[in-house]
Amino acid sequence: MKKIYTFAIALLFGALIQAQTVVTFDDLTLQPDSFWNGSDLSGGFSLQGAYFVNYYDTSYGGYWSGGFAYSNMVDSVTAGYTNGYSVMAGYAYSGNNFAIANPGTFNTTYIKFDSLMQVEGLYVTNSTYAYISMRDGDYFAKKFGGTSGDDPDWFKLTIFGYNEGNLTDSVEFYLADYRFSDNSQDYILKDWQFVSLTTLGNLDSLVFGLSSSDVGSYGMNTPAFFCMDNMTFSVTGETVIDDLQAVSVYPNPFSDRITIDSDEKINHITILNVNGNIIKQINSNDVGNISINVSDLSSGIYFINIVTDKHSYIRRLVK
């Protein structure tokens, strides 16, 4: 699966900015330390042109059976399914609210857009329930790494892009990975991490799946939950001329380092070569001056994509 930016060649004609939407889930109303799980039987919720499906089963007193919920619960200590709506990081990526996904076996967990979109990416991390289950083991699931710490366990999120029912591509991201020969590199994700989805191209829906090395007779034993925040997307073809004063990148041409100046909070930086291949990705949460070491890049033409909390900026660079 080749990871390329489909719009890279178009960038050769100048600096452009895509009109961009960032879904933060803070437009959804919640009381402090609470959640919404679809018990109103609405079947989902909509935010800024994106519909998040929800499945709620009314049997056995009622329970959330799949799709998306949203929450502001940050209990990172309590283990078990009774703490199923908390984020292990202890905070939303931005604001107070975040989404929780439950891609179960029997329902399709998806986001449907009201028009053709290009999705820049989104932030993900583990729920407290899944994190502690993997770290310590529980009645249903094993402790990742086993008693020796050498078991090559993993917990993987796969995101599929679709356009009119046709698969565009997929992106894999490990929420936990114990396959390293050096056990000190093993990890269970605790902090928010950006997952780039630009390789999925133009799409009208996203489908989410979880898989794990810990599988039993009835399917995956690892709790099938992850948390999500700050999904960034833009309507395909909706571009405007960039304000070159909003974000500056210098020197250009560059040698060993580049500096980015912005009055907006920078969330994510991606450097691509002229073929659209991703060379370097950097997560950020800074406003102002950011310096990046680019001494390892060979001579040539590059593009830098700077995603802020308001816009997505593209600059052409030369080394």
Q: What is the CA radius of gyration of the chain?
A: 20
Q: Within 10 A of 266 (CB to CB), how many other CB atoms are there?
A: 21
Lookup: tokens for 50: 């994106």
Query: Which one has a higher pLDDT value, 228 or 22?
Result: 228
What's 73's DSSP letter? Answer: B
| Residue 128 to residue 226: CA distance in whole angstroms | 9
Query: Do the beta carbons of residue 186 and residue 178 sit within 8 Å?
Result: yes
Instruction: Give CA torsion, residues 25, 27, 30, 34, to 10 deg.
Output: 10
- Mean pLDDT over residues 109-134, rounded? 94
Tell me what percent of the residues of the chain surpass a pLDDT of 90.
64
Res 245: pLDDT: 63
- Mean pLDDT over residues 259-266, rounded? 87
Q: What is the mean pLDDT of the chain?
A: 87
Nearest to 275 by CA among 17, 1, 4: 4
Tell me what percent of the residues of the chain surpass a pLDDT of 70.
89
The verdict on pTM exceeding 0.75 is no
241-245 long-range contacts, CB within 8 A, separation 24+? 241/16, 241/17, 242/15, 242/16, 242/17, 242/313, 242/314, 243/17, 244/15
SS (H, E, C) 79-141: CCHHHCCEECCCCCCCCCCEEEEECCCCCCEEEEEEEEEEEEEEEEECEHHHHHHHHHCCCCC
* pLDDT 10s digits, 183-217: 999 999 999 999 999 899 999 999 999 999 999 98
Query: Which one has a higher pLDDT value, 306 or 127?
Result: 127
Q: Within 10 A of 220 (CB to CB), how many other CB atoms are there?
A: 19
Least confident interval from 4-18, 77-91, 151-165: 4-18
With a cut of 50, say whether residue 4 has pLDDT above it: no
* pLDDT 10s digits, 235-262: 765 443 345 567 889 999 999 999 998 8
- Mean pLDDT over residues 298-316, rounded? 80
Res 241: pLDDT: 36
Query: Which one has a higher pLDDT value, 141 or 245?
Result: 141
* pLDDT 10s digits, 96-121: 999 999 997 678 999 999 888 889 89
Res 52: pLDDT: 96
Query: Which one has a higher pLDDT value, 178 or 94?
Result: 178
Residue with tokens 């909509």: 46
Residue 183 DSSP SS3 = helix
With a cut of 80, say whether residue 270 has pLDDT above it: yes
Domains of the chain plus CATH, in order, are 9-18+241-318 (2.60.40.3080), 21-235 (2.60.120.1350)
Least confident interval from 161-175, 205-219, 235-249, 262-276: 235-249
Res 308: pLDDT: 79
Lookup: tokens for 121: 């990416």
Res 276: pLDDT: 63
Residue with tokens 């290009």: 118
Q: What angle do CA 299, 304, 305 make, to 5 degrees?
A: 160
252-257 long-range contacts, CB within 8 A, separation 24+? 252/315, 252/317, 252/318, 253/317, 253/318, 253/319, 254/294, 254/317, 254/318, 254/319, 255/295, 255/319, 256/293, 256/294, 256/295, 257/291, 257/292, 257/293, 257/294, 257/295
Res 288: pLDDT: 76
